[in-house]
Structure formats: structure tokens, C-alpha cells
């Protein structure tokens, strides 16, 4: 695993949970990520990706808050292992090697990465 990885996967996200609900839930657990990417699915549980300012902050959340119950919801965390896991997009495997390199280089700038993925879906 990349020693500079500052992103955690968060599971156990119900399909009714909005970004603002998730933000307030995390805030009540004293978890303050730099960025939250919510992957919510209408028919099943979703997940979120929490990017932190430092690896140490992410590690503290993982060790101190994993399986903690806040407002009746069990928080589940794990390290993000790959770009494909973070963006959980089946079409990403259809990218060419050069497109994957481009996405990898943009990994730290999620805004541009989201645009790249959205543009790919329009093709």
C-alpha cells in the first residue's frame, strides 16, 4: 500500500444517506476529512471515500473509529487500495494504459478526475 495514502473507504452507507447527513454524522464523531466522495446506490448500500490532510489523521480515524456506533450507525473504515476502488467505476477497466496513467497523475486532484470520468461516460 502507498505510504502516502491519506484516503479511507467508508462502508455501511445506506441509500437514503445524503452528503450533508454523512458530513454531520462524521462531524458528531469528531472526524473532519479534507474531502468526502459519496458513492450512493439506489438499490443497495453505498460507500464513501474520505480524504484526509495527512496519513496520520486517516490512521487515527481507522484505529479509533472503525466499528464505532454513532447515532445508531456502525462506522466501518478501511484503507483505499487503488484508483479503481476509489472511483468504483466498471468502465474504468476499459481505459487504455495512457488513460489510466492520466487518471493516476490526477489522483490527488479529485475534481479533475471526476471530470475525466464523467467525460468518459459521455463517449
Place of cell 454524522: 25
% of the chain with per-residue pLDDT over 70 = 60
Residues ≥6 apart with Cβ < 8 Å to 28: 70, 71
Q: What is 7-81's CATH superfamily? A: RRM (RNA recognition motif) domain (3.30.70.330)
What does the pLDDT look like over 56-84, one tens digit per residue?
A: 999 999 999 999 999 898 999 999 876 55
Q: Please tell me which residue, 35 or 108, carries the higher pLDDT value.
A: 35
The answer, yes or no, to whether residue 123 has pLDDT greater than 50, is: no
3 state DSSP class of 55: helix
Cβ neighbours of 15 (radius 10 Å): 11
Going from N- to C-terminal start, the domains of the chain cover 7-81, 84-122
Question: Residue 4's pLDDT is what?
Answer: 77
| Confidence band of 91 (pLDDT split at 50, 70, 90) | very low
Contact between 76 and 29 under an 8 Å Cβ cutoff? The reply is no
Residue 54 banded pLDDT, cuts 50, 70, 90: very high
| DSSP-derived 3-state class of residue 30 | coil
**How far is Cα 41 from Cα 36, in angstroms, rounded to an integer?**
16
Amino acid at each position: 500500500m502507498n505510504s502516502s495514502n491519506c484516503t479511507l473507504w467508508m462502508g455501511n452507507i445506506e441509500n437514503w444517506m445524503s452528503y450533508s447527513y454523512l458530513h454531520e454524522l462524521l462531524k458528531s464523531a469528531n472526524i473532519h476529512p479534507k474531502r468526502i466522495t459519496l458513492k450512493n446506490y439506489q438499490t443497495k448500500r453505498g460507500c464513501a471515500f474520505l480524504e484526509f490532510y495527512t496519513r496520520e489523521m486517516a490512521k487515527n480515524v481507522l484505529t479509533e473509529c472503525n466499528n464505532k456506533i454513532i447515532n445508531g450507525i456502525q462506522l466501518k473504515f478501511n484503507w483505499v487500495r487503488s484508483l479503481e476502488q476509489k472511483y468504483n467505476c466498471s468502465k474504468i477497466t476499459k481505459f487504455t494504459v495512457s488513460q489510466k496513467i492520466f487518471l493516476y497523475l490526477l489522483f490527488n486532484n479529485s475534481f479533475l478526475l471526476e471530470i475525466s470520468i464523467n467525460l468518459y461516460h459521455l463517449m
